[in-house]
Amino acid sequence: MVIPDDLYNYTCSDKGLLLPLINEYTWSIGTRATLYIIGLLYCFMGVAIIADIFMCSIEKITSKTRKIVLSTSNEDEPEVVEVKVWNDTVANLTLMALGSSAPEILLSIIEVVGNGFQVGQLGPGTIVGSAAFNLLIITAVCILAIPEGEVSSIKCIKVFGTTAFFSIFAYIWLLIILVWITPDQVDLWEALLTFLLFPICVILAYIADKDFCTKKHEEKDKQLELGFTAVPERDLVINGKLNKAALVDFMREVRNYPGLTDEDAAVLAASKLVDQQPHSRMWYRIGAVRDYTGGRKTRPTMSAKLHEVYTTLEEHGEKLDGVPLLARPVSPSLRLTKSIVEFHAATCSVSENVGKFSVLVKRHGYLGNIAIVRVESIDGTANVAEDYIKVNEILQFLPNETEKEIQVEIVNDNQWEPDEVFFLKLSIPEETENVVLGRTAIMEVTILDDDEPGVIQFKKRGLLVTESAGSAAIPIIRKQGADGEVSVKWRTLDKTAFNNKDYIGGYGEVTFKHTEVEINLEIPIMNDMDPEKDEHFEVELYDPSGGASLGSITRTMVTITNDDDFNSVVDRVMKMTNANIDAIKVHSETWASQFRDAMNVNGGDVENAETSDYVMHFFTFGWKVLFAFVPPPSIWGGYLCFFSSLVMIGLLTAVIGDLAGIFGCLVGIPDSITAITLVAAGTSLPDLFASRTAAKSEKYADNAIGNVTGSNSVNVFLGLGLPWLIAAVYWFVKGELFIVPAGSLGFSVACYTVVSFISIALLMARRFLPVFGNAELGGPMPLRYVCATLLFVLWAAYIILSSLQALNVIKP
């Protein structure tokens, strides 16, 4: 049998360090190219997942704290506060920069070592291409991500200025050593200085941080040590522990919203706690990776209604004695000075073919002024335009006017759909005074196919309220129909609690307007300030009218408990909140929890998993289970996980380098083009998602774009400085020169240097010119689109020019 000479030396068979694993001689070029590009995309997901674990170890390492003991009046119980060991700037430029750039840096090192200590095109090209993607594309996306009418600026501008200088100087330095000092070669001293620029950059950034960013904070720390400042009582976390007093206040706010359970309060409290904590860019990157791989989320998942309640709690910052007026029970004294506006009902149901229907907004309290509120619609499972017409109206109550109606239109698409929900929300315009929102500031609207008058009953058989609550909100629901106006009478029945002594009862009538399906009956509770046992009374429904009938729950028991019993409920919510917090920690404590998270969609939170979560979990299941064998960050302070995952990233990066190189060879694309496009974008996409989330969530832009310049600097100093130093030492020992052809790399670096200078200048112009909003991100919509478009064009120009030069269309 005659073996062809090229059986083991076929097209592109010598391009990889580890691949191909099997002989591909009989495969067509098209088949091989397709398999290699699929494998490359799949490995991008894998490296994102192992980088997630790598960054969890970094988060564990950099979150280390030390305890400082402060003297107090009680010698037996000194106050202990915890302070972070790692400076944020140093952490961002060292471990966190390594975490986000590890694939690019390791690819460059592996390529040099694997090529016999000769420089390749894939590693350096990926580093320059990633820098362009980070600075231009990520910045453009973040400019557009800020909500309309808002801006976000960099807080530590001195640190940003330092890293921005080094991010441009790093690439100018590459041009100097490759083109002017020693053309097409790198001497040992040049490689050593390139690497040493990394600690120099970190030290100067640290000096800038201490001088300009934390000076005031240091003064506060000194005051704290002297006892001049107090810990904020409203913070849900103090020294890493849940603050019970703040949780009680938060629960009292939450309980004023109808239909929320203790479990809902625990989810809202956990969300509040997450938002109160400072987050690093690493935290956002971990969250971004898990969002698009169907992994365990880094923040609690809320239903549409809970999300709207939480948003409303956050939006209305006006407070009285530290409590938002929106969520505070309206006191009798407040009723004399302020108008109270709310929906007449908490929920309503309408048929899909109803067309337009009316929603009643009522005003009570002080009626002598003009009261202005805004009503707007929020999507739930129903979507604007597809299921209903958007609502965004201003309502103006004239003096002594108590009711207003708004018209809401439902879209009938003549297709069967399950019941769908959207929300109407009341808010107070900034210029409005002497107006507060009542309990029912959010109305839930359900679209269904039903035209019966309905059945009326209590929502629950019993209700627990504290004696100091002020009033009991008893939900009465109308089900199995919501057509027409119906009413039902009610009366209170004394048991161990007595009318006009423990509560103010009697009798009355509740009226459901057309489409309304839930109304709260308010029964004032009297607080006699005396410790006593639990007391209770009943409320009974009778004599419905308008065609409605009574349901199965016509009586409900209201139990008035003292605040000690309320504290037991708080303890229960505290435990549930702590459980929610444990569920969203970025790292796992044990191998068992790692495997449980890896093998279950959303880390086991199946109830809140969406279709996209299942799809991505299916595709990434193999990677998740494989990387679950990495030691968890809880072992040895995270260092074992750090080095283990770094090895994993190195192995996977070597495979990515082979896949990209062979794919480019098969389709005729030079490595330099593959590097600045496909590989650079694939390794930088998690940073794009993370920065976009940080831009939308954070008050300042530091975590969104402030760290981009630092990361780009570190990429050069470590990603090129370290492998070039290793290779330069190797060739120096052999008495030969380390050859680094400027060629495509020099031209690409020159193009990037120009566009990076323009982009930094644009960011500074946005910061200092009022026309842009005096901020790097956000601002007027037309100008933000102009700036984003300019950055996209600069990136496209960089890619096109670098590619044309690599194809010898442009001669350097």
616-652 pLDDT, tens digit per residue, is: 999 999 999 999 999 998 888 888 998 999 999 999 9
Q: Are 103 and 656 in contact (CB under 8 A)?
A: yes
* HEC string for 697-754: HCCCCHHHHHCHHHHHHHHHHHHCHHHHHHHHHHHHHCCCCCECCCHHHHHHHHHHHH
Query: pTM score > 0.85 for this model?
Result: no
What mean pLDDT value characterizes the chain? 82
Quote the pLDDT of residue 571. Answer: 66
Is pLDDT at 668 greater than 80 in this prediction? yes
- Please state, in angstroms and as integers, the Cα–Cα distance from residue 691 to each residue in 48, 703, 789, following that order: 15, 7, 18
Is pLDDT at 763 greater than 90 in this prediction? yes
Non-local (6+) Cβ contacts of 216 within 8 A are none
Quote the pLDDT of residue 227. Answer: 36
Quote the pLDDT of residue 143. Answer: 93
Is pLDDT at 658 greater than 50 in this prediction? yes
Q: Are 433 and 338 in contact (CB under 8 A)?
A: no
Q: Are 555 and 541 in contact (CB under 8 A)?
A: yes
Calculate mean pLDDT across residues 577-599.
Answer: 74
Quote the pLDDT of residue 324. Answer: 37
Residue 21 — pLDDT band, cuts 50, 70, 90?
A: confident
Quote the pLDDT of residue 326. Answer: 38
Is pLDDT at 730 greater than 80 in this prediction? yes
% of the chain surpassing 90 pLDDT? 32
Residue 412 — pLDDT band, cuts 50, 70, 90?
A: confident
Token representation of residue 519: 């109304």
Q: Are 441 and 330 in contact (CB under 8 A)?
A: no
Pick the range with the lowest mean pLDDT from 311-325, 331-345, 535-549, 797-811: 311-325
Is pLDDT at 760 greater than 80 in this prediction? yes
152-174 pLDDT, tens digit per residue, is: 899 888 888 999 999 999 999 99
> For residue 486, which of 459, 451, 510 has the smallest C-alpha distance?
510
Question: 654: number of CA atoms within 13 Å, CB side?
Answer: 15
Q: Are 452 and 479 in contact (CB under 8 A)?
A: no
Handedness of CA 656, 661, 665, 668 (dihedral sign): positive
* Centroid of chain to Cα 196: 35
% of the chain surpassing 70 pLDDT? 81
Non-local (6+) Cβ contacts of 413 within 8 A are 352, 386, 387
Residue 14 — pLDDT band, cuts 50, 70, 90?
A: confident
Q: Are 408 and 361 in contact (CB under 8 A)?
A: no
Instruction: For 480-607, list the strands marked E by DSSP.
Output: 486-494, 507-512, 516-524, 535-545, 549-550, 555-561
Quote the pLDDT of residue 1. Answer: 46
Scanning 63-187, the segments in alpha helix (DSSP H) are 88-93, 95-114, 122-132, 139-145, 157-175
**Partners of 185 in the β-ladder:** 739
Q: Are 534 and 480 in contact (CB under 8 A)?
A: no
Residue 217 — pLDDT band, cuts 50, 70, 90?
A: very low
Quote the pLDDT of residue 230. Answer: 36
Per-position b or e across 14-23, b if 16+ CB within 10 A of its CB:
ebbeebbeee
Quote the pLDDT of residue 24. Answer: 84
Residue 332 — pLDDT band, cuts 50, 70, 90?
A: low
Cβ–Cβ contacts within 10 Å for residue 605, how many? 17
Residue 90 — pLDDT band, cuts 50, 70, 90?
A: confident
Higher pLDDT, 222 or 442: 442
Is pLDDT at 397 greater than 50 in this prediction? yes
Is pLDDT at 362 greater than 70 in this prediction? yes
